[in-house]
Each structure stands twice: as structure tokens, then as C-alpha cells.
Amino acid sequence: MKKYITLFLFGIIVLILGCFFLWHKNAIKAYFQKNSSNYSNESAANQAEEKKDIIIKIPIVANSTYGELMAQASTSPTLANRIYEAAKPLYDLVKIRQGHSLELTYNKDTNELKKFVYKINSEDELYVAKNTAADKTSTTSVSEWTAEIKPIPYEVKIKIAQGEVKSSMYQAAIDNDVDIRAIIDLADAFQWTIDFAMDPRVGDIFKFVYEERYLDGEYICPGKILAGLYVNDNTPYEVYYFEDSEDNQGYFDKDGNSVQKMFLKAPVSFKYISSGYTTGPRYIAAFQAYTSSHMAIDYAAAYGTPIRAVGNGKITYAQYKSGYGNTITIRHNETYSTNYSHLSKFAVKRGQNVSQGEIVGYVGSSGYSTGPHLHYEMVKYGVKVNPLKEVLPPGKPIKAENKDKFNEEIKKYSEMIK
């Protein structure tokens, strides 16, 4: 009997140790990763001290709060509150999101917390640091902690990716080991040019140059798409990223005209339809395209898929309409308006102004409809027209004084996507 008790106790100890290890796994991992990467870094002499600091990453799990996570890291409520208060004018830590993490840096000698970092989004991080002795002499420093929002210091690598559409662009990305997030960004760069629900054909080709972002040698996410080529039904389309001026930056064609137009090519984003849909032709066969008896385009999409305004405008209708179900009308200007029908839910009200890309409602099957889909119409001078056939003027061109710089920049990228 005694033997069993011993065995039982031994089991309990193993279990506790196991739990302890799992609980601190990330912290231990982060600690070793940080140190090894610092040792491999030939950095300045004043960083020699910092390489001994301990960095702990606390993953933010479902329903956890800032206070709980800080307590879990043995931070006193007073200290946690000081950091919270220092950060508050810039970022309210009540809003921390699941899936991200809190990064705490401790001084190796004193074991004191000296730095707190929270990644707000893929671009910026909240950085709260304990003031050094030098800062303390400053009269402006009221708190012991100073917060800043800084761009995340990624290391950037330029990559080229390509693929051929055999069943769908989404599948082509998977087949070619391309990060899906980069494909979504590529589709966004072409969102005024190509309707990724209706236009893609088997044999279409895409090739693009983009940034890959790394932190401590670890791949984090794709950055900007710098240049993209999409050959749709044998017609090549190219886009190049350029910052012309404060109010004119983004994607341009090779002649230097902005590809951003008055209307998006489709009211559903590739992001939401990418994984589910198949090829263009099959798609059109299965769902109604624009014909003389059906002067609209039907987008089959899962119930609840967000629907976006194709252009800036004012909501002139947002209610149930016989046959069409829940319907939204956006008046864009004296010439154009667009209608969105069979919605499950409205995201806007009549009289409201909306911007291009803003979510106005959600796919449903209200009214006369056999399954969840969006019935989309474009009206020009009171007459229904095929939105895919509307030719719109090109967007704002690059300023004359920036043209040389633009040509120089796209020269190297156009070679890369050939």
C-alpha cells in the first residue's frame, strides 16, 4: 500500500513540474531566444549590458485582462497601475487583444521591470519604459514611466512570389507556398481593377514583389506589396506602390496614373470570399451574371459575409423591398447609384454618408432568394448598367516633378515581375 502512495505522490510531483514548465514555456523560450539572438548580434558596446536582461512574453489568452496577466508575471498591482496610467493617454491597456502578447524586460542585476511592450497592430507597438536616472532630474518627468507608440522595428526582406490559377487564386497561393495574407494584400492592390469573384480564369498568372517582415530572425507577416502583375484572361495588369504626396499614395499603373478609381470592382472583398469560391467560369455558371433578363451581378457568399460600398456616397435607401429583401441604395453622385439586395443585416442607416470600402451590410437571403447571395446593381442616369463593363476615368496621376523618381523605382520592379 505504501508503495502505491509513494508512486501516487511521485506522479503528482511530475504533474506539477509539467504544468509549471508548460505555464512558463513561452517565457523560457523567449528568454533563450532573446539571449541567443543577442549573442549572435555584433552590437555596440553599450548593448553588452542589455543582453543580460530577461525578456518574458506573456501570451494574451481569451478573457484575460491586463491586470490578471501582470499579476501572473508577479508584477505588483501598484507597478501594473503605473504602467497602465503612463500608457493611457496613448493606448488604453483595457483593450489588449487575444493572440497578441505582453513583453516584459527585467534588469538582470536588480531584477526590476524596466520595459513593457505591447504590439498594437502590425505597424505599431506601445513602448513603456522606466525612466533612467538621467530622466529623473528632468522636471517634466512626473511619472516614473514614459510611454511612446513606435513603429515596430522589423527587418525587411524583399521577396518575389508567383502562381498560376488552376482552380482559384487562393488555391494557387497555397500550392506555391505564398502567405495567404500577402495574396489578400495583392487582391487589395487590384481591387479597383479586377473583380476576384467574377474575373479570374483558369490559366491566369500572378507575380508580385513584396516585403517580408522579421523580428529577431523570425518571420512575422508580409509588409507592403511593392509591385504586382496579374494576367487576367491574357490581359496583363500591373500595379506599383508609390508615395507621390500626402494625399496621393498607393498603387499606380506603369504610366503613373493612380489605380484607385471612383468604384471598387466588386462589393465583396477577396478576403471574405477567397477560401470558398472556385473559378470564374464555374462561378458564373452557378450564379447569375449580368444578362438582359438579370441586370445585376449575383455574388454567392456565406451568410453574414460583409458587403462594402463600392464608392463614396450617401445612403438613400436602407429597408425591406418586395422581392429584393433588405436593400441598400447608395447615391454616389448625379450620375451613379448602386443597389445591394437580399441582405441579412444592415450596417448603415438612411441619410448616412459612407466611404469607399466601408461595410454597409451583410450577405443574406431575404426577399425572393434561394440561398445566401448578394444581388448587386449599378444604375447610371436611372438605367441599370453592367458594373463590370463601366469604364471609369483613371485616378490622379503622379506629379510631374515626381515622374523621374517613379520611373526609376518601377524600372527595377517591372524587371522583377516580368
**Residue 296: CB minimum distance to Zn ion, A:** 5
Closer residue to Zn ion (CB): 182 or 301? 301
3-state secondary structure of 90: coil
Residue 86 to residue 143: CA distance in whole angstroms: 7
Closer residue to Zn ion (CB): 185 or 298? 298
**Residue 369: CB minimum distance to Zn ion, A:** 8
Closer residue to Zn ion (CB): 128 or 297? 297
Closer residue to Zn ion (CB): 212 or 298? 298
- The interface mask with Zn ion, positions 244-283, x = CB under 5 A, is ----------------------------------------
Residue 300 to residue 369: CA distance in whole angstroms: 11
342 is a site residue for Zn ion (CB under 5 A): no
Q: Which window, 27-35, 93-101, 261-269, 298-306, contacts Zn ion (CB under 5 A)?
A: 298-306
**Residue 286: CB minimum distance to Zn ion, A:** 13
Alpha helices in 177-315 (DSSP H): 180-189, 270-273, 280-286
**Residue 378: CB minimum distance to Zn ion, A:** 13
Nearby residues of 325 by Cβ (< 8 Å), 6 or more positions away:
341, 342, 343, 364, 365, 366, 367, 368, 369
Closer residue to Zn ion (CB): 273 or 296? 296
- The interface mask with Zn ion, positions 67-86, x = CB under 5 A, is --------------------
3-state secondary structure of 40: helix
Q: Which window, 8-16, 52-60, 296-304, 388-396, contacts Zn ion (CB under 5 A)?
A: 296-304
Closer residue to Zn ion (CB): 129 or 295? 295
**Residue 322: CB minimum distance to Zn ion, A:** 15
125 is a site residue for Zn ion (CB under 5 A): no
Residue 349 to residue 334: CA distance in whole angstroms: 21
Closer residue to Zn ion (CB): 82 or 375? 375
**Residue 217: CB minimum distance to Zn ion, A:** 51
Residue 215 to residue 28: CA distance in whole angstroms: 18
Closer residue to Zn ion (CB): 103 or 298? 298
# residues contacting Zn ion (CB under 5 A): 3
**Residue 330: CB minimum distance to Zn ion, A:** 17
HSE (side-chain half, CA atoms, 13 Å) at 365: 8
Which positions from 356 through 375 interact with Zn ion, judged by CB under 5 A?
A: 375
298 is a site residue for Zn ion (CB under 5 A): yes
Comparing every residue's Cβ against Zn ion, the nearest one is 375
Sheet of 145-151, strands arranged across: 54-59, 101-106, 113-119, 124-130, 145-151
**Residue 167: CB minimum distance to Zn ion, A:** 25
Residue 345 to residue 88: CA distance in whole angstroms: 35
Closer residue to Zn ion (CB): 170 or 376? 376
Residue 141 to residue 138: CA distance in whole angstroms: 6
**Residues β-bridged to residue 237:** 230
- Cα distances (Å, whole numbers) of residue 325 to 137, 152, 258, 341: 68, 46, 37, 6
**C-alpha dihedral (87, 91, 92, 95), degrees to nearest 10:** -130
Asked whether the CA dihedral 84, 88, 91, 94 is positive or negative, the reply is positive
Nearby residues of 215 by Cβ (< 8 Å), 6 or more positions away:
152, 153, 154, 155
Q: Which three cell numbers stand for residue 395?
A: 485616378
Closer residue to Zn ion (CB): 86 or 266? 266
- The interface mask with Zn ion, positions 299-328, x = CB under 5 A, is ------------------------------
**Residue 25: CB minimum distance to Zn ion, A:** 53
Question: Binding residues for Zn ion, per CB under 5 A?
Answer: 296, 298, 375
